[in-house]
Amino acid sequence: MSIQVSNIRKKFGGFTALDGVDLTVPRGKLVALLGPSGSGKTTLLRIIAGLEQADEGSGRIQFHGEDVTHVPAGKRRVGFVFQHYALFRHMSVFENIAFGLKVRPRKLRPKNNEIADRVHRLLKLVQLEGLEARYPSQLSGGQRQRVALARALAVEPKVLLLDEPFGALDAKVRKELRRWLRRFHEEIHLTTVFVTHDQEEALEIADEVVIMNNARVEQVGTPQQVYDHPATPFVYQFLGNVN
């Protein structure tokens, strides 16, 4: 499912967080929103998810041509992963992953054995088989983040959005997990956008990189394109820090 963002504006009080952002995320791609802290990445991701509303009278968000600008978050079929896992501490891994299915209205709720089947398939997909009875406190940071991903996938989202998914992890685990995310993406080909301020992370795993600065998109392209042909002095400088 492709994502089209057209002329999205967002102000917080007098401060402009997004200043007319246009963006197309092609179906099945893994796209990085890259930029310095405060450039508007998280705000854009949250508006795509419906967790935040764009300013009245500004542009629109479309999923595969369908206008979802005013569709509430719960009905957009978006999987969202936060930087700090946001797992339920008093629930097991199984219960965390099943949560989104169990809270559905009775008519839409799968049967218990179907939920169990789906949770086990997801555990396999994120390579956490056998850990369903554990609690979040008994998992490593990387494992917790994979539970968060399985939980986001449980509701069969049309798009997957990740906000600095590895930001809370130490450098070694970050590197492992980003390679793992790339391999995982190649298995399921779900349209995915992830936020990062880490140039190396974006350039290593993304199909396309969206470089943001000061509430605007500076450049969109493949890692090779943005690296070889920076479109603005900012992009040149920002990517110049990559070793």
Interface with ligand ADP (CB under 6 A)? 12, 15, 17, 35, 37-43, 195
Shortest distance in whole angstroms from residue 226 CB to ligand ADP? 17
* Cβ closest to ligand ADP, residue 132 vs residue 208: 208
Q: Considering beta carbons, is residue 177 or 212 the nearer one to ligand ADP?
A: 212
Question: Minimum CB separation from ligand ADP for residue 10, in Å?
Answer: 8
Question: Based on CB atoms, which residue is closest to ligand ADP, 146 or 216?
Answer: 216
Nearer to ligand ADP, 36 or 189 (CB): 36
Question: From the CB of 71, what's the least distance to ligand ADP, in Å?
Answer: 21
The 3-class SS string of the chain reads CCEEEEEEEEEECCEEEEEEEEEEECCCCEEEEECCCCCCHHHHHHHHHCCCCCCCCCCEEEECCEECCCCCHHHCCEEEECCCCCCCCCCCHHHHHHHHHHCCCHHHCCCHHHHHHHHHHHHHHCCCCCCCCCCHHHCCHHHHHHHHHHHHHHCCCCEEEEECCCCCCCHHHHHHHHHHHHHHHHHHCCEEEEEECCHHHHHHHCCEEEEEECCEEEEEECHHHHHHCCCCHHHHHHHCCCC
Nearer to ligand ADP, 84 or 121 (CB): 84
15 or 65: whose CB is closer to ligand ADP? 15
Q: Are 167 and 42 in contact (CB under 8 A)?
A: no
Residue (of 199, 197, 212, 193) closest to 17 by Cα position = 212
Could you tell me the smallest distance in angstroms from the CB atom of residue 140 to ligand ADP?
Answer: 26
Q: How far is the CB of 214 from ligand ADP (least distance, A)?
A: 10
In whole angstroms, how close is the CB of 128 to ligand ADP at the nearest point? 28
Tokens read off for 148: 């968060």
